[in-house]
Structure 1
Amino acid sequence: MVTHVAPAGWPRQVRPPDAPDWETTAHAWLLDLCPPEYRTYPALRRHVVVLARFALRHVEACQASVHAGLSECRADLRHVADPDVADAAVETWLAEDARLSAVRREVGLVEEALRGRRFVARL
């Protein structure tokens, strides 16, 4: 009995490593994470492990942008928005930071699997 194992944090849109067509689902999911222009680059269309690296860097850049936005949010909005609006903006930045952290983990796991790592079930 063959069991395909995906670790905690694995994206639900991607089949577990070594499952039929798992790399196809990984490729489609990674492309969806990236800017639309990435679809036009032949190297990213042909080499899923290269796409995974680009996707990882893209997500990390988004995280850096969120961190900058969060650190500057109150000062940037001080003269143009009420304090409750600035609070809502901070909460939005925090929610986006949490979302991106989860996506970063997912992309990292997919990249590891594309590079040959396999995961074992834990009891």
Structure 2
Amino acid sequence: MAWLLDAGPPEWRQLDALRRHPIALAHKAALYVQGAVEAARTGYRQATRELTHHLPPDAIHAVLDAYRIEGPRLIALAQSIEVVEQALRGHPFTPTLRGGGRTGAGPPPPSAA
């Protein structure tokens, strides 16, 4: 459960309820990280407008690059937490292929004709 505790602020480690109830921890972590995803999206959308008069263009590009790196990391973390939460709730895990790529296994997709 340390991994889920790491997804939130350090203060969570002091909360007995979260350490004793992994489902509660997973639920809280999911909400917390989803909030971070939304904050990163908002920050990315607003960075240029909000920072133009305070930072040089190269710094704004660096800030946008930081959001481009952080966004996918946060989304992957949110997805991982969701899988863990579902497992803790007793839901079976069903692996899926992401990104639309084919692995070469199985029959080809149906024709769009």
Common fold, TM-score beyond 0.5? yes
TM range (shorter): 0.7 to 0.9
Percent of pairs identical after alignment? 36
Distance across 1 between alignment mates of 2:51 and 2:68 = 16
Match of 1:105, SS state, is: helix
Aligned to 2:61: 87
Q: Relative contact order (C-alpha < 8 Å, sep 6+): which is higher?
A: 1
Higher mean C-alpha displacement, 77-86 vs 98-107? 77-86
Distance across 2 between alignment mates of 1:82 and 1:120 = 47
Structure 2: state its 5+ residue gaps: 97-104, 106-113
Structure 1: state its 5+ residue gaps: 1-26
Q: Cα–Cα, structure 1 residues 120 and 67, in superposed 2: closer, same or farther, change >3 Å? A: closer
Which of 20, 28, 52 lines up with 1:78 in the alignment? 52
- Deviation of 1:114 after TM superposition, in Å, equals 0.5
- Deviation of 1:121 after TM superposition, in Å, equals 7.0
- Deviation of 1:71 after TM superposition, in Å, equals 1.2
- Deviation of 1:84 after TM superposition, in Å, equals 2.0
- Aligned ranges 1:50-89 → 2 under 5 Å: 50-89=24-63
Aligned to 2:7: 33
Scaled by the length of structure 1, the TM-score of the pair is 0.72
* Number of residue pairs aligned between Structure 1 and Structure 2: 97
- Aligned ranges 1:10-25 → 2 under 5 Å: none
Aligned to 2:70: 96
Any runs of at least 4 consecutive aligned residues in structure 1 with deviations exceeding 6 A, and if so which? none
Structure number with greater Rg is 2
Scaled by the length of structure 2, the TM-score of the pair is 0.78
Q: Would you say the 8 A contact 2:18–2:24 is kept in 1?
A: yes
The root-mean-square deviation of aligned C-alpha atoms, in Å, is 1.7
